[in-house]
């Protein structure tokens, strides 16, 4: 799987904006992600938050408690920058550096690795975060994007 460009990542975020995001939506998106991950036997943990409240969490076979730590670190990046964790990391790499080297933020608190994506609602901005952890970062990101694309097309 090839890495998306910064332009690809920005286009995904512009395209994947929701009209609303409810508790039931979090359940539907979370179970959709679980279904996709199970089909692939992906050893991931999945997390969805809105307004600081965890609305969905699942850990699939093969995932570990370490995935939960990665979830928290990637989620904080989205909460701070309001863009995907993969886009933040990609922007640093495009400048010839890394997030860890140049952000001046504690890497035990923040991780600009793929897998966390903003839940944006028209007129409200970023209201939450959906995160997958357990695969290589480009695959974590792609799984979240695939689920959001399916979710938005089925609404």
**Whole-Å CA distances, 88 to 56, 58, 135:** 24, 25, 18
Residue 27 has φ and ψ, to the nearest 5°, of: -60, -45
pLDDT of 154? 74
pLDDT of 89? 96
Which pair of structure tokens corresponds to residue 67?
């995935």
Output the pTM of the full model: 0.95
- Going along the chain from its start, the domains and CATH numbers come out as 6-153 (3.30.450.150)
Residue 74 has φ and ψ, to the nearest 5°, of: -70, -40
pLDDT of 137? 96
Q: Which of 36, 41, 33 is nearest to 117 (CA)?
A: 33
Would you tell me how many other CB atoms lie within 10 Å of the CB of residue 124?
13
Task: Give every CB contact of residue 53 below 8 A, 6+ residues apart in sequence.
Answer: none
The per-residue pLDDT string of the chain (155 residues; one tens digit each, 9 = 90 and over) reads: 788 999 999 999 999 999 999 999 999 999 999 999 999 999 999 999 999 999 999 999 999 999 999 999 999 999 999 999 999 999 999 999 999 999 999 999 999 999 999 999 999 999 999 999 999 999 999 999 999 999 998 75
Distance CA 71, CA 45 (A): 8
pLDDT of 155? 59
Task: Give every CB contact of residue 78 below 8 A, 6+ residues apart in sequence.
Answer: 84, 85, 116, 117, 118, 126, 129, 131
Which pair of structure tokens corresponds to residue 120?
């944006």
């Amino acid at each position: 799987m090839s890495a998306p460009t910064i332009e690809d990542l920005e286009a995904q975020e512009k395209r994947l904006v929701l009209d609303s995001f409810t508790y039931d939506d979090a359940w539907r998106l979370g179970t959709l992600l679980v279904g996709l991950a199970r089909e692939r036997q992906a050893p991931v943990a999945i997390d969805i938050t809105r307004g600081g409240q965890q609305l969905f969490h699942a850990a699939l076979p093969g995932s570990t408690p370490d995935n939960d730590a990665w979830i928290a670190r990637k989620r904080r990046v989205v909460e701070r920058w309001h863009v995907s964790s993969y886009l933040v990391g990609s922007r640093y790499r495009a400048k010839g550096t890394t997030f860890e080297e140049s952000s001046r933020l504690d890497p035990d608190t923040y991780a600009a690795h793929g897998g966390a994506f903003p839940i944006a609602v028209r007129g409200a901005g970023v209201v939450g975060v959906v995160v997958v952890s357990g695969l290589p970062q480009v695959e974590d990101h792609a799984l979240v994007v695939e689920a959001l694309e399916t979710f938005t097309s089925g609404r």
